[in-house]
Amino acid sequence: MSRCWIALGGNQGPVADTFRDAVALLNRVAGISVTRMSRCYTTSPVGANAGNEFLNAAAELQTTLPPLELLANLQAVETQLGRVRSVHWGPRTLDLDLLLYDEQMLSTPVLTIPHPHMWYRRFVLDPLAEIAPDVIHGGHGLSISELRERLLSRPLKCVLLGGPVDQRVDLQRQLEAEYPQTDWPTESPESAWLAFCFESVPQVEGIPDANRIDVQAFPTAPEQTIRDVLAAALDSVRSV
């Protein structure tokens, strides 16, 4: 029996009721048992197309299903409860993300464990820290509560790596103005824990790979600019 954690989110319809229905449906699947659930958190939408405020929660599961089979069942429940994937990062009735599966590290075209974006998202870490504060994130070697605490410190230390210098300087000026509680230490980039990386990223000593966000691979809509991508990530940090 494996122990897993999932994130629940939604901003369309009676979301709290949808969460309860999702838990009930998961409990009916052979090999899945929902053993713990956080309270619901009201969070700000992230991204220009996201719509209204969200509810977010986290749940602990016990399962005998392997990761990909568990993911398929999560997606089946989303569909049963009205999830339609028509707008990327758009409004949704229900989102079920597999965050952690025991201590496994997995990377496939359809599933990465731990979830690749959970470590800097308050709307994931706040509810998860409520039910799994001491669980270790394998990529960072830190507990969920420790990851969350890092998001609360101000100023938030960030760095831009790679890409044309002029573009990088211009983006940094925009972000400094829009996010006054951030600090962009150009003289000591290794002091930043949130590193946005462009193509041909230089290896900067002291910045772990786990703290890097690949801007080119970020899951965003085609019409969104790099500034939109960076802003969405920073909104995730302060989204509660």
35-57 pLDDT, tens digit per residue, is 999 999 999 877 656 668 899 99
Axis crossing angle, helix 67-80 with helix 15-27, rounded to the nearest 10? 130
Residue 239 is predicted with a pLDDT of 60
pTM (predicted TM-score): 0.88
Query: Annotated catalytic, 95?
Result: yes
Find the domain containing 8 and state its range.
2-151
Answer yes or no: are the C-beta atoms of 208 and 141 closer than 8 Å: no
Same domain, 145 and 226: no
Query: Annotated catalytic, 170?
Result: no
- Between 165 and 73, the more confident residue is 73
Residue 199 is predicted with a pLDDT of 63
Q: Of residues 3, 21, 95, 228, which has the active-site annotation?
A: 95
Gap between the Cα atoms of 191 and 49, Å rounded: 33
Same domain, 211 and 231: yes
Residue 147 is predicted with a pLDDT of 93
Query: Annotated catalytic, 92?
Result: yes
Structure tokens at 206: 């002291």
pLDDT band at 222 (very low <50, low <70, confident <90, very high): low
Among the candidates 151, 183, 202, a domain finishes at 151
Q: Of residues 3, 83, 212, 238, which has the active-site annotation?
A: 83
Q: Which of 78, 67, 141 is nearest to 101 (CA)?
A: 67
Same domain, 146 and 186: no
Mean pLDDT of 122-148: 95
Same domain, 75 and 147: yes
Answer yes or no: are the C-beta atoms of 99 and 114 closer than 8 Å: yes
Query: Annotated catalytic, 21?
Result: no
Q: Is the pLDDT of residue 188 over 70?
A: yes
Cα-Cα-Cα-Cα dihedral sign, residues 103, 105, 109, 115? positive
Q: Of residues 92, 122, 148, 168, which has the active-site annotation?
A: 92
Count structural domains, the chain: 2
pLDDT band at 202 (very low <50, low <70, confident <90, very high): low
Same domain, 111 and 157: no
